[in-house]
Structure 1
Protein backbone atom coordinates (compact mmCIF):
# COMPACT_ATOMS: atom_id res chain seq x y z
CA UNK A 1 0.00 0.00 0.00
CA UNK A 2 2.83 2.39 0.82
CA UNK A 3 4.38 1.65 -2.58
CA UNK A 4 1.07 2.47 -4.27
CA UNK A 5 0.92 5.76 -2.40
CA UNK A 6 4.22 6.86 -3.92
CA UNK A 7 2.53 6.65 -7.32
CA UNK A 8 -0.95 7.91 -6.46
CA UNK A 9 -2.35 9.60 -3.36
CA UNK A 10 -4.85 7.51 -1.41
CA UNK A 11 -7.51 10.19 -1.01
CA UNK A 12 -10.58 9.13 -3.01
CA UNK A 13 -13.38 7.83 -0.77
CA UNK A 14 -16.43 8.84 -2.82
CA UNK A 15 -17.45 10.62 -6.00
CA UNK A 16 -17.89 14.34 -5.57
CA UNK A 17 -21.37 15.89 -5.90
CA UNK A 18 -22.48 16.13 -9.53
CA UNK A 19 -24.93 18.98 -8.96
CA UNK A 20 -25.62 21.93 -6.66
CA UNK A 21 -29.35 21.11 -6.51
CA UNK A 22 -29.90 19.07 -3.37
CA UNK A 23 -32.49 17.53 -1.04
CA UNK A 24 -31.63 16.91 2.60
CA UNK A 25 -31.37 13.35 3.87
CA UNK A 26 -31.20 11.94 7.41
CA UNK A 27 -27.73 10.96 8.60
CA UNK A 28 -26.82 7.34 9.29
CA UNK A 29 -27.94 7.31 12.95
CA UNK A 30 -31.22 9.04 12.13
CA UNK A 31 -31.98 6.62 9.30
CA UNK A 32 -31.20 3.62 11.50
CA UNK A 33 -33.66 4.92 14.09
CA UNK A 34 -36.38 5.48 11.46
CA UNK A 35 -35.96 1.97 10.01
CA UNK A 36 -36.29 0.53 13.51
CA UNK A 37 -39.70 2.17 14.01
CA UNK A 38 -42.95 0.36 12.95
CA UNK A 39 -44.02 3.48 11.03
CA UNK A 40 -41.19 2.87 8.52
CA UNK A 41 -43.23 0.14 6.82
CA UNK A 42 -45.88 2.58 5.64
CA UNK A 43 -43.87 5.66 4.74
CA UNK A 44 -44.42 7.40 1.42
CA UNK A 45 -42.20 5.55 -1.06
CA UNK A 46 -39.92 8.53 -1.75
CA UNK A 47 -39.50 9.19 1.97
CA UNK A 48 -38.70 5.52 2.51
CA UNK A 49 -36.17 5.59 -0.34
CA UNK A 50 -34.45 8.62 1.23
CA UNK A 51 -34.07 6.77 4.53
CA UNK A 52 -32.81 3.60 2.83
CA UNK A 53 -30.33 5.59 0.71
CA UNK A 54 -28.83 7.19 3.81
CA UNK A 55 -28.63 3.90 5.67
CA UNK A 56 -26.81 1.96 2.96
CA UNK A 57 -24.59 4.72 1.53
CA UNK A 58 -23.60 7.09 4.32
CA UNK A 59 -20.71 6.34 6.68
CA UNK A 60 -21.30 4.88 10.13
CA UNK A 61 -18.01 6.41 11.12
CA UNK A 62 -14.41 7.05 10.07
CA UNK A 63 -11.03 5.60 11.00
CA UNK A 64 -7.41 6.33 10.18
CA UNK A 65 -5.94 5.11 6.94
CA UNK A 66 -2.87 2.84 7.05
CA UNK A 67 -1.37 5.12 4.43
CA UNK A 68 -1.03 8.88 4.77
CA UNK A 69 -4.30 9.21 2.87
CA UNK A 70 -7.79 10.35 3.78
CA UNK A 71 -9.61 8.63 6.66
CA UNK A 72 -11.47 5.47 5.68
CA UNK A 73 -15.26 5.26 5.86
CA UNK A 74 -17.15 2.51 7.64
CA UNK A 75 -20.42 1.62 5.87
CA UNK A 76 -23.17 -0.96 6.32
CA UNK A 77 -21.89 -3.09 3.42
CA UNK A 78 -18.50 -4.84 3.76
CA UNK A 79 -15.57 -3.95 1.53
CA UNK A 80 -12.04 -5.33 1.52
CA UNK A 81 -9.56 -2.64 2.49
CA UNK A 82 -12.47 -0.26 3.13
CA UNK A 83 -12.42 0.70 -0.54
CA UNK A 84 -16.23 0.85 -0.78
CA UNK A 85 -16.35 1.28 -4.57
CA UNK A 86 -20.18 1.27 -4.77
CA UNK A 87 -22.10 4.48 -5.47
CA UNK A 88 -25.89 4.81 -5.31
CA UNK A 89 -28.26 6.69 -7.62
CA UNK A 90 -32.01 7.02 -7.75
CA UNK A 91 -34.49 7.61 -10.58
CA UNK A 92 -37.83 8.89 -9.30
CA UNK A 93 -40.64 8.34 -11.82
CA UNK A 94 -43.80 10.41 -12.37
CA UNK A 95 -43.81 12.28 -9.06
CA UNK A 96 -43.49 15.86 -7.87
CA UNK A 97 -39.91 14.83 -7.04
CA UNK A 98 -39.27 13.21 -10.45
CA UNK A 99 -35.65 13.23 -11.47
CA UNK A 100 -32.32 11.44 -11.47
CA UNK A 101 -30.47 11.77 -8.16
CA UNK A 102 -27.00 11.03 -6.87
CA UNK A 103 -26.82 9.86 -3.27
CA UNK A 104 -23.92 12.14 -2.40
CA UNK A 105 -21.76 10.48 0.26
CA UNK A 106 -19.50 13.44 0.91
CA UNK A 107 -22.30 15.94 1.55
CA UNK A 108 -24.83 13.38 2.86
CA UNK A 109 -27.73 14.50 0.70
CA UNK A 110 -29.47 13.84 -2.62
CA UNK A 111 -28.13 15.74 -5.62
CA UNK A 112 -30.50 16.13 -8.57
CA UNK A 113 -28.51 15.44 -11.72
CA UNK A 114 -31.27 15.79 -14.31
CA UNK A 115 -34.96 15.37 -15.03
CA UNK A 116 -36.31 11.81 -15.12
CA UNK A 117 -36.58 10.11 -18.53
CA UNK A 118 -40.02 9.14 -19.81
CA UNK A 119 -41.43 5.77 -18.77
CA UNK A 120 -41.21 4.64 -22.42
CA UNK A 121 -37.45 5.31 -22.49
CA UNK A 122 -36.98 3.57 -19.14
CA UNK A 123 -38.88 0.49 -20.34
CA UNK A 124 -36.72 0.33 -23.45
CA UNK A 125 -33.38 0.77 -21.70
CA UNK A 126 -34.00 -0.68 -18.22
CA UNK A 127 -36.37 -3.60 -18.94
CA UNK A 128 -35.33 -5.44 -15.78
CA UNK A 129 -36.86 -2.71 -13.63
CA UNK A 130 -40.27 -3.49 -15.09
CA UNK A 131 -40.21 -7.13 -14.00
CA UNK A 132 -41.82 -5.70 -10.89
CA UNK A 133 -45.52 -6.74 -10.89
CA UNK A 134 -46.57 -3.16 -10.14
CA UNK A 135 -45.65 0.15 -11.76
CA UNK A 136 -42.17 1.18 -10.55
CA UNK A 137 -42.20 4.50 -8.76
CA UNK A 138 -38.44 4.64 -8.44
CA UNK A 139 -35.33 2.78 -9.56
CA UNK A 140 -32.10 2.52 -7.56
CA UNK A 141 -28.86 2.19 -9.52
CA UNK A 142 -25.74 0.71 -7.90
CA UNK A 143 -22.62 1.80 -9.79
CA UNK A 144 -18.97 0.97 -9.19
CA UNK A 145 -16.05 3.38 -9.12
CA UNK A 146 -13.20 1.24 -10.47
CA UNK A 147 -10.41 3.51 -9.30
CA UNK A 148 -11.31 3.13 -5.62
CA UNK A 149 -11.37 -0.64 -5.86
CA UNK A 150 -8.14 -0.92 -7.84
CA UNK A 151 -6.14 1.24 -5.45
CA UNK A 152 -5.59 -1.78 -3.25
CA UNK A 153 -6.41 -4.65 -5.61
CA UNK A 154 -4.17 -3.97 -8.58
CA UNK A 155 -4.70 -7.16 -10.52
CA UNK A 156 -7.43 -8.10 -13.05
CA UNK A 157 -8.89 -11.05 -11.11
CA UNK A 158 -10.07 -8.72 -8.36
CA UNK A 159 -12.51 -7.13 -10.82
CA UNK A 160 -15.03 -9.69 -9.50
CA UNK A 161 -15.04 -8.07 -6.06
CA UNK A 162 -16.95 -5.11 -7.51
CA UNK A 163 -19.90 -7.39 -8.13
CA UNK A 164 -19.78 -8.80 -4.59
CA UNK A 165 -19.92 -5.32 -3.10
CA UNK A 166 -22.59 -4.02 -5.48
CA UNK A 167 -24.82 -7.04 -4.94
CA UNK A 168 -24.47 -6.81 -1.16
CA UNK A 169 -25.46 -3.14 -1.16
CA UNK A 170 -28.21 -3.82 -3.71
CA UNK A 171 -29.55 -6.70 -1.66
CA UNK A 172 -29.75 -4.48 1.39
CA UNK A 173 -31.70 -1.85 -0.58
CA UNK A 174 -33.98 -4.53 -1.96
CA UNK A 175 -34.77 -6.04 1.44
CA UNK A 176 -35.44 -2.67 3.08
CA UNK A 177 -37.71 -1.49 0.26
CA UNK A 178 -39.57 -4.82 0.28
CA UNK A 179 -41.43 -4.04 3.51
CA UNK A 180 -44.89 -2.88 4.45
CA UNK A 181 -46.58 -0.91 1.70
CA UNK A 182 -43.78 -1.25 -0.88
CA UNK A 183 -42.36 -4.03 -3.00
CA UNK A 184 -38.96 -4.21 -4.69
CA UNK A 185 -37.08 -6.32 -7.21
CA UNK A 186 -33.38 -6.41 -8.10
CA UNK A 187 -32.21 -7.08 -11.64
CA UNK A 188 -29.33 -6.73 -14.09
CA UNK A 189 -31.42 -6.16 -17.20
CA UNK A 190 -30.36 -2.73 -18.45
CA UNK A 191 -28.48 -0.89 -21.17
CA UNK A 192 -25.09 -0.06 -19.63
CA UNK A 193 -24.34 2.89 -21.89
CA UNK A 194 -27.77 4.41 -21.29
CA UNK A 195 -27.43 4.25 -17.51
CA UNK A 196 -23.88 5.59 -17.75
CA UNK A 197 -25.26 8.72 -19.39
CA UNK A 198 -28.19 8.92 -16.96
CA UNK A 199 -25.88 9.04 -13.92
CA UNK A 200 -23.46 11.46 -15.63
CA UNK A 201 -20.55 9.02 -15.52
CA UNK A 202 -17.52 10.04 -17.57
CA UNK A 203 -17.24 6.55 -19.05
CA UNK A 204 -18.02 2.89 -18.40
CA UNK A 205 -14.31 2.44 -17.73
CA UNK A 206 -14.40 4.82 -14.75
CA UNK A 207 -17.84 4.43 -13.17
CA UNK A 208 -20.17 1.74 -14.40
CA UNK A 209 -23.71 0.64 -13.42
CA UNK A 210 -23.70 -2.87 -11.95
CA UNK A 211 -27.16 -3.54 -10.48
CA UNK A 212 -30.64 -1.99 -10.30
CA UNK A 213 -33.52 -2.25 -7.83
CA UNK A 214 -37.00 -1.07 -8.78
CA UNK A 215 -39.68 -0.35 -6.20
CA UNK A 216 -43.38 0.46 -6.18
CA UNK A 217 -46.43 0.30 -3.97
CA UNK A 218 -47.50 -3.21 -3.04
CA UNK A 219 -50.77 -4.28 -4.69
CA UNK A 220 -51.51 -8.01 -4.49
CA UNK A 221 -53.45 -9.58 -7.38
CA UNK A 222 -53.96 -12.89 -9.12
CA UNK A 223 -51.15 -12.25 -11.61
CA UNK A 224 -48.52 -12.35 -8.88
CA UNK A 225 -46.58 -15.17 -7.31
CA UNK A 226 -45.50 -14.58 -3.73
CA UNK A 227 -41.96 -15.65 -2.86
CA UNK A 228 -41.21 -14.84 0.77
CA UNK A 229 -42.36 -11.27 1.21
CA UNK A 230 -41.99 -10.46 -2.49
CA UNK A 231 -44.51 -10.66 -5.33
CA UNK A 232 -43.19 -11.59 -8.78
CA UNK A 233 -45.07 -11.57 -12.08
CA UNK A 234 -46.10 -15.05 -13.17
Structure 2
Protein backbone atom coordinates (compact mmCIF):
# COMPACT_ATOMS: atom_id res chain seq x y z
CA UNK A 1 0.00 0.00 0.00
CA UNK A 2 1.27 3.46 -0.91
CA UNK A 3 0.76 6.52 1.24
CA UNK A 4 1.16 10.28 0.84
CA UNK A 5 -0.03 13.49 2.47
CA UNK A 6 -3.47 14.76 1.47
CA UNK A 7 -3.37 16.59 -1.86
CA UNK A 8 -5.13 19.63 -0.39
CA UNK A 9 -3.01 20.05 2.72
CA UNK A 10 -1.75 23.58 3.36
CA UNK A 11 -0.89 26.04 6.10
CA UNK A 12 -3.05 29.17 6.23
CA UNK A 13 -1.82 32.40 7.78
CA UNK A 14 -4.85 33.56 9.75
CA UNK A 15 -4.99 37.00 11.38
CA UNK A 16 -3.61 35.93 14.75
CA UNK A 17 -2.39 32.38 14.20
CA UNK A 18 -1.52 29.68 11.71
CA UNK A 19 -3.92 26.90 10.76
CA UNK A 20 -3.35 23.57 9.05
CA UNK A 21 -6.11 23.12 6.50
CA UNK A 22 -7.14 20.48 3.98
CA UNK A 23 -8.90 22.14 1.06
CA UNK A 24 -10.27 18.79 -0.11
CA UNK A 25 -11.77 17.35 3.07
CA UNK A 26 -12.35 20.88 4.50
CA UNK A 27 -10.84 19.78 7.81
CA UNK A 28 -8.85 22.19 9.99
CA UNK A 29 -6.22 21.66 12.66
CA UNK A 30 -4.72 24.16 15.09
CA UNK A 31 -1.18 25.47 14.77
CA UNK A 32 -0.06 23.27 17.68
CA UNK A 33 0.33 20.55 15.08
CA UNK A 34 3.21 22.51 13.54
CA UNK A 35 5.08 22.37 16.85
CA UNK A 36 5.35 18.60 16.51
CA UNK A 37 8.61 18.34 14.61
CA UNK A 38 8.28 14.63 13.95
CA UNK A 39 4.82 15.10 12.41
CA UNK A 40 6.01 17.95 10.19
CA UNK A 41 8.98 15.82 9.14
CA UNK A 42 6.66 12.92 8.34
CA UNK A 43 4.30 15.06 6.25
CA UNK A 44 7.27 16.47 4.34
CA UNK A 45 8.54 12.93 3.72
CA UNK A 46 5.11 11.94 2.42
CA UNK A 47 4.96 14.79 -0.06
CA UNK A 48 5.20 12.02 -2.66
CA UNK A 49 3.96 8.44 -2.66
CA UNK A 50 5.76 6.23 -0.15
CA UNK A 51 5.47 2.54 0.66
CA UNK A 52 3.65 1.81 3.92
CA UNK A 53 6.76 0.08 5.24
CA UNK A 54 8.85 3.25 4.69
CA UNK A 55 6.35 5.40 6.57
CA UNK A 56 6.16 3.01 9.52
CA UNK A 57 9.95 2.85 9.70
CA UNK A 58 10.19 6.66 9.76
CA UNK A 59 7.55 6.99 12.50
CA UNK A 60 9.30 4.30 14.52
CA UNK A 61 12.73 5.89 14.09
CA UNK A 62 11.66 9.51 14.70
CA UNK A 63 9.60 8.71 17.80
CA UNK A 64 11.73 5.82 19.10
CA UNK A 65 8.77 3.46 19.33
CA UNK A 66 8.11 -0.08 18.19
CA UNK A 67 6.59 -0.93 14.81
CA UNK A 68 3.20 -1.83 16.28
CA UNK A 69 2.86 1.60 17.92
CA UNK A 70 4.14 3.22 14.70
CA UNK A 71 1.48 1.31 12.73
CA UNK A 72 -1.23 2.53 15.13
CA UNK A 73 0.04 6.12 14.69
CA UNK A 74 -0.11 5.73 10.92
CA UNK A 75 -3.69 4.43 11.12
CA UNK A 76 -4.64 7.47 13.21
CA UNK A 77 -3.09 9.88 10.69
CA UNK A 78 -4.99 8.10 7.91
CA UNK A 79 -8.26 8.37 9.83
CA UNK A 80 -7.64 12.09 10.40
CA UNK A 81 -7.12 12.58 6.66
CA UNK A 82 -3.63 14.04 7.01
CA UNK A 83 -2.31 11.04 5.08
CA UNK A 84 -4.18 9.19 2.35
CA UNK A 85 -3.85 5.95 0.41
CA UNK A 86 -4.27 5.38 -3.31
CA UNK A 87 -7.77 4.08 -2.59
CA UNK A 88 -8.85 7.38 -1.05
CA UNK A 89 -11.86 8.70 -3.00
CA UNK A 90 -10.66 12.30 -2.94
CA UNK A 91 -7.35 11.22 -4.38
CA UNK A 92 -9.06 9.17 -7.07
CA UNK A 93 -10.83 12.35 -8.19
CA UNK A 94 -8.11 14.94 -7.68
CA UNK A 95 -4.97 12.89 -8.20
CA UNK A 96 -4.76 12.65 -11.97
CA UNK A 97 -6.51 15.97 -12.65
CA UNK A 98 -4.60 17.76 -9.90
CA UNK A 99 -1.28 16.51 -11.24
CA UNK A 100 -2.25 17.89 -14.65
CA UNK A 101 -3.06 21.34 -13.21
CA UNK A 102 0.09 21.37 -11.09
CA UNK A 103 2.17 20.28 -14.06
CA UNK A 104 1.01 23.39 -15.89
CA UNK A 105 1.90 25.66 -12.94
CA UNK A 106 -1.70 26.07 -11.76
CA UNK A 107 -1.41 24.84 -8.17
CA UNK A 108 -3.15 27.81 -6.52
CA UNK A 109 -6.00 28.00 -9.09
CA UNK A 110 -6.55 24.26 -8.68
CA UNK A 111 -6.81 24.58 -4.89
CA UNK A 112 -9.18 27.54 -5.22
CA UNK A 113 -11.36 25.95 -7.91
CA UNK A 114 -11.68 22.57 -6.24
CA UNK A 115 -11.99 23.89 -2.70
CA UNK A 116 -14.59 26.58 -3.33
CA UNK A 117 -16.72 24.13 -5.29
CA UNK A 118 -16.83 21.81 -2.27
CA UNK A 119 -17.76 24.46 0.28
CA UNK A 120 -21.50 24.28 1.09
CA UNK A 121 -23.31 27.06 -0.77
CA UNK A 122 -26.65 28.77 -0.35
CA UNK A 123 -29.37 26.88 -2.18
CA UNK A 124 -31.76 29.57 -3.37
CA UNK A 125 -34.29 26.96 -4.51
CA UNK A 126 -34.95 26.27 -0.82
CA UNK A 127 -35.90 29.91 -0.30
CA UNK A 128 -38.02 30.76 -3.38
CA UNK A 129 -39.42 33.95 -1.84
CA UNK A 130 -35.99 35.10 -0.76
CA UNK A 131 -37.03 35.50 2.87
CA UNK A 132 -33.80 34.07 4.31
CA UNK A 133 -31.74 36.07 1.84
CA UNK A 134 -33.50 39.31 2.80
CA UNK A 135 -33.04 38.49 6.47
CA UNK A 136 -29.32 38.05 5.87
CA UNK A 137 -29.10 41.38 4.06
CA UNK A 138 -30.94 43.14 6.91
CA UNK A 139 -28.46 41.61 9.33
CA UNK A 140 -25.50 42.84 7.25
CA UNK A 141 -27.00 46.33 7.08
CA UNK A 142 -27.47 46.40 10.84
CA UNK A 143 -23.79 45.59 11.32
CA UNK A 144 -22.17 47.91 8.79
CA UNK A 145 -22.98 50.33 5.98
CA UNK A 146 -22.79 48.91 2.45
CA UNK A 147 -19.96 50.07 0.21
CA UNK A 148 -20.77 53.08 -1.97
CA UNK A 149 -22.02 52.43 -5.49
CA UNK A 150 -19.76 55.21 -6.72
CA UNK A 151 -16.09 55.99 -6.31
CA UNK A 152 -15.48 59.74 -6.35
CA UNK A 153 -11.98 61.21 -6.42
CA UNK A 154 -11.38 64.88 -5.67
CA UNK A 155 -9.67 66.88 -8.40
CA UNK A 156 -10.26 68.87 -11.58
CA UNK A 157 -13.18 67.43 -13.49
CA UNK A 158 -14.13 67.28 -17.19
CA UNK A 159 -17.82 66.77 -17.86
CA UNK A 160 -18.44 64.43 -20.78
CA UNK A 161 -21.27 64.52 -23.31
CA UNK A 162 -24.12 62.11 -22.75
CA UNK A 163 -24.61 61.17 -26.38
CA UNK A 164 -26.39 57.86 -26.83
CA UNK A 165 -26.54 57.95 -30.64
CA UNK A 166 -24.32 55.92 -32.93
CA UNK A 167 -24.30 55.67 -36.70
CA UNK A 168 -26.28 52.63 -37.72
CA UNK A 169 -24.27 49.46 -38.20
CA UNK A 170 -25.64 45.94 -38.34
CA UNK A 171 -24.77 43.66 -35.45
CA UNK A 172 -23.31 41.21 -37.96
CA UNK A 173 -20.84 43.86 -39.11
CA UNK A 174 -19.88 44.73 -35.53
CA UNK A 175 -19.60 41.10 -34.41
CA UNK A 176 -17.45 40.19 -37.40
CA UNK A 177 -15.16 43.19 -37.09
CA UNK A 178 -11.47 42.42 -36.66
CA UNK A 179 -11.15 44.70 -33.65
CA UNK A 180 -7.36 44.76 -33.55
CA UNK A 181 -6.81 45.72 -37.18
CA UNK A 182 -4.88 48.88 -38.04
CA UNK A 183 -7.03 51.88 -38.88
CA UNK A 184 -6.01 55.50 -39.38
CA UNK A 185 -4.22 57.09 -36.45
CA UNK A 186 -6.35 60.19 -36.05
CA UNK A 187 -7.08 61.45 -32.54
CA UNK A 188 -10.34 60.50 -30.86
CA UNK A 189 -12.76 63.39 -30.96
CA UNK A 190 -14.26 64.55 -27.68
CA UNK A 191 -17.67 63.39 -28.90
CA UNK A 192 -16.38 59.94 -29.84
CA UNK A 193 -14.68 59.58 -26.48
CA UNK A 194 -17.82 60.68 -24.63
CA UNK A 195 -19.93 58.16 -26.52
CA UNK A 196 -17.40 55.44 -25.87
CA UNK A 197 -17.40 56.13 -22.14
CA UNK A 198 -21.15 56.43 -21.73
CA UNK A 199 -22.15 53.43 -23.84
CA UNK A 200 -19.41 51.22 -22.42
CA UNK A 201 -19.34 52.19 -18.75
CA UNK A 202 -21.98 54.83 -18.05
CA UNK A 203 -24.96 54.67 -15.73
CA UNK A 204 -28.16 54.27 -17.75
CA UNK A 205 -30.67 54.14 -14.88
CA UNK A 206 -31.21 53.09 -11.29
CA UNK A 207 -32.34 49.67 -10.13
CA UNK A 208 -34.14 49.39 -6.81
CA UNK A 209 -33.52 46.16 -4.92
CA UNK A 210 -35.28 44.87 -1.79
CA UNK A 211 -33.56 45.87 1.45
CA UNK A 212 -30.45 47.44 -0.11
CA UNK A 213 -32.27 50.07 -2.17
CA UNK A 214 -30.89 51.86 -5.22
CA UNK A 215 -28.20 50.30 -7.38
CA UNK A 216 -26.63 51.28 -10.66
CA UNK A 217 -27.82 49.96 -14.02
CA UNK A 218 -25.45 50.07 -16.99
CA UNK A 219 -25.31 48.77 -20.53
CA UNK A 220 -23.60 45.65 -19.15
CA UNK A 221 -24.91 43.18 -16.56
CA UNK A 222 -23.33 42.69 -13.15
CA UNK A 223 -23.97 40.01 -10.54
CA UNK A 224 -26.51 41.43 -8.09
CA UNK A 225 -26.13 44.89 -9.67
CA UNK A 226 -22.93 45.29 -7.68
CA UNK A 227 -20.79 46.72 -10.52
CA UNK A 228 -17.49 46.32 -8.62
CA UNK A 229 -15.35 47.51 -11.55
CA UNK A 230 -13.76 50.96 -11.75
CA UNK A 231 -12.36 52.57 -14.90
CA UNK A 232 -9.14 54.56 -15.12
CA UNK A 233 -8.19 56.22 -18.40
CA UNK A 234 -4.71 57.14 -19.55
CA UNK A 235 -5.24 59.76 -22.25
CA UNK A 236 -2.68 60.06 -25.04
CA UNK A 237 -4.61 61.63 -27.92
CA UNK A 238 -8.18 62.81 -27.35
CA UNK A 239 -9.27 66.21 -28.66
CA UNK A 240 -9.93 68.67 -25.85
CA UNK A 241 -8.44 66.52 -23.07
CA UNK A 242 -4.86 66.94 -21.85
CA UNK A 243 -2.62 63.90 -21.65
CA UNK A 244 -2.69 62.27 -18.23
CA UNK A 245 -4.26 59.75 -15.88
CA UNK A 246 -7.96 60.15 -15.11
CA UNK A 247 -10.64 58.31 -13.16
CA UNK A 248 -14.10 57.89 -14.68
CA UNK A 249 -16.74 59.32 -12.35
CA UNK A 250 -19.80 57.21 -13.15
CA UNK A 251 -22.11 59.31 -10.98
CA UNK A 252 -21.46 62.52 -12.93
CA UNK A 253 -20.35 61.01 -16.25
CA UNK A 254 -17.10 62.92 -15.99
CA UNK A 255 -13.35 62.45 -15.91
CA UNK A 256 -11.44 63.40 -12.77
CA UNK A 257 -7.80 64.25 -13.27
CA UNK A 258 -5.41 62.27 -11.08
CA UNK A 259 -2.15 63.48 -12.65
CA UNK A 260 -1.16 65.18 -15.86
CA UNK A 261 1.61 63.94 -18.09
CA UNK A 262 2.71 61.81 -21.00
CA UNK A 263 2.50 58.23 -19.75
CA UNK A 264 2.85 56.40 -23.05
CA UNK A 265 6.18 54.91 -22.02
CA UNK A 266 4.68 53.64 -18.74
CA UNK A 267 1.74 52.11 -20.63
CA UNK A 268 4.06 50.30 -23.02
CA UNK A 269 6.44 49.04 -20.32
CA UNK A 270 4.06 48.09 -17.51
CA UNK A 271 0.62 47.60 -19.08
CA UNK A 272 1.04 46.41 -22.66
CA UNK A 273 4.48 44.85 -21.91
CA UNK A 274 4.78 43.29 -25.38
CA UNK A 275 6.99 45.40 -27.68
CA UNK A 276 5.03 44.52 -30.83
CA UNK A 277 1.51 45.08 -29.54
CA UNK A 278 -0.84 46.53 -30.48
CA UNK A 279 -0.44 47.21 -34.22
CA UNK A 280 -2.13 50.63 -34.01
CA UNK A 281 -1.42 53.96 -32.31
CA UNK A 282 -2.92 54.00 -28.82
CA UNK A 283 -5.12 57.03 -28.15
CA UNK A 284 -6.54 55.82 -24.84
CA UNK A 285 -5.56 53.09 -22.40
CA UNK A 286 -8.27 51.86 -20.03
CA UNK A 287 -7.26 50.14 -16.81
CA UNK A 288 -10.00 48.16 -15.07
CA UNK A 289 -9.85 47.69 -11.33
CA UNK A 290 -12.15 45.87 -8.93
CA UNK A 291 -13.43 47.10 -5.57
CA UNK A 292 -13.95 43.69 -4.00
CA UNK A 293 -16.12 44.82 -1.12
CA UNK A 294 -19.01 45.74 -3.41
CA UNK A 295 -19.51 42.07 -4.25
CA UNK A 296 -18.10 40.69 -1.01
CA UNK A 297 -20.62 42.62 1.08
CA UNK A 298 -23.52 40.93 -0.66
CA UNK A 299 -22.15 37.49 -1.56
CA UNK A 300 -20.34 35.97 1.40
CA UNK A 301 -19.22 32.79 -0.30
CA UNK A 302 -15.70 32.25 -1.62
CA UNK A 303 -16.99 30.93 -4.95
CA UNK A 304 -18.53 34.33 -5.67
CA UNK A 305 -15.06 35.72 -6.38
CA UNK A 306 -15.49 34.28 -9.88
CA UNK A 307 -18.41 36.57 -10.69
CA UNK A 308 -16.19 39.66 -10.73
CA UNK A 309 -14.22 38.11 -13.58
CA UNK A 310 -17.45 37.75 -15.56
CA UNK A 311 -18.21 41.43 -14.95
CA UNK A 312 -14.83 42.39 -16.40
CA UNK A 313 -15.48 40.23 -19.45
CA UNK A 314 -18.81 41.99 -20.06
CA UNK A 315 -17.17 45.42 -19.79
CA UNK A 316 -14.25 44.61 -22.04
CA UNK A 317 -16.31 42.98 -24.76
CA UNK A 318 -18.88 45.78 -24.67
CA UNK A 319 -16.04 48.27 -25.10
CA UNK A 320 -14.80 46.31 -28.12
CA UNK A 321 -18.26 46.36 -29.73
CA UNK A 322 -18.68 50.11 -29.16
CA UNK A 323 -15.19 50.74 -30.54
CA UNK A 324 -16.01 48.76 -33.67
CA UNK A 325 -19.22 50.72 -34.14
CA UNK A 326 -17.07 53.89 -34.11
CA UNK A 327 -14.59 52.38 -36.61
CA UNK A 328 -11.90 52.35 -33.95
CA UNK A 329 -9.34 49.66 -33.22
CA UNK A 330 -9.28 48.00 -29.82
CA UNK A 331 -7.14 45.55 -27.92
CA UNK A 332 -7.74 43.83 -24.58
CA UNK A 333 -5.20 42.26 -22.27
CA UNK A 334 -5.05 40.49 -18.94
CA UNK A 335 -1.34 40.32 -18.16
CA UNK A 336 0.29 43.47 -16.79
CA UNK A 337 2.59 44.51 -13.96
CA UNK A 338 -0.12 44.64 -11.31
CA UNK A 339 1.86 46.12 -8.43
CA UNK A 340 3.40 48.84 -10.59
CA UNK A 341 0.00 49.75 -12.02
CA UNK A 342 -1.66 49.71 -8.57
CA UNK A 343 0.96 52.18 -7.36
CA UNK A 344 0.51 54.31 -10.48
CA UNK A 345 -3.27 54.47 -9.95
CA UNK A 346 -2.93 55.10 -6.23
CA UNK A 347 -4.81 51.98 -5.09
CA UNK A 348 -3.77 49.42 -2.49
CA UNK A 349 -4.03 46.24 -4.56
CA UNK A 350 -6.14 44.44 -1.96
CA UNK A 351 -9.35 46.36 -1.28
CA UNK A 352 -9.12 47.67 -4.84
CA UNK A 353 -6.87 45.97 -7.35
CA UNK A 354 -5.81 46.32 -10.97
CA UNK A 355 -7.36 43.53 -13.04
CA UNK A 356 -7.24 44.04 -16.82
CA UNK A 357 -6.72 46.69 -19.50
CA UNK A 358 -7.93 47.75 -22.93
CA UNK A 359 -6.50 50.00 -25.65
CA UNK A 360 -8.34 52.15 -28.17
CA UNK A 361 -6.79 53.47 -31.39
TM range (shorter): 0.7 to 0.9
Matched, 1:91 2:237: no
Which one of 21, 24, 29 corresponds to residue 159 of structure 2? 24
* Conserved? CA contact 1:91–1:101, under 8 Å: yes
Matches within 5 A, 1:27-66: 27=162, 30=163, 32-33=164-165, 35-36=166-167, 44-47=187-190, 48-66=192-210
User: Per residue, is there more helix in 1 or in 2?
Assistant: 2
User: Cα offset for 1:10?
Assistant: 2.7
User: Per residue, is there more strand in 1 or in 2?
Assistant: 1
Q: Secondary structure at 2:279's aligned position in 1?
A: coil
Q: Which residue in 2 is equivalent to 1:156?
A: 302
Please, which runs of 5 or more residues in structure 1 have no aligned partner? Answer: 217-234
Matched, 1:215 2:360: yes
Cα distance in 1 for partners of 2:311, 2:278 equals 23
User: Cα offset for 1:87?
Assistant: 1.2
Q: Over aligned residue pairs, what C-alpha RMSD do you find?
A: 2.5
Question: Structure 2 length as normaliser, TM-score?
Answer: 0.53
Matched, 1:131 2:267: no
Matched, 1:15 2:158: no
Which one of 81, 91, 114 corresponds to residue 259 of structure 2? 114
Please, which runs of 5 or more residues in structure 2 have no aligned partner? Answer: 1-136, 170-183
Task: Give structure 1 regions of 4+ aligned residues with deviation exceeding 4 angstroms.
Answer: none
Matched, 1:206 2:351: yes
User: Cα offset for 1:118?
Assistant: 3.5
* Conserved? CA contact 1:56–1:173, under 8 Å: yes
Residue-pair matches, total: 207
Which one of 82, 106, 111 corresponds to residue 225 of structure 2? 82
Q: Secondary structure at 1:210's aligned position in 2?
A: strand
Question: Structure 1 length as normaliser, TM-score?
Answer: 0.79
Structure with larger Rg = 2
Cα distance in 2 for partners of 1:207, 1:83 equals 14
User: Cα offset for 1:3?
Assistant: 1.7
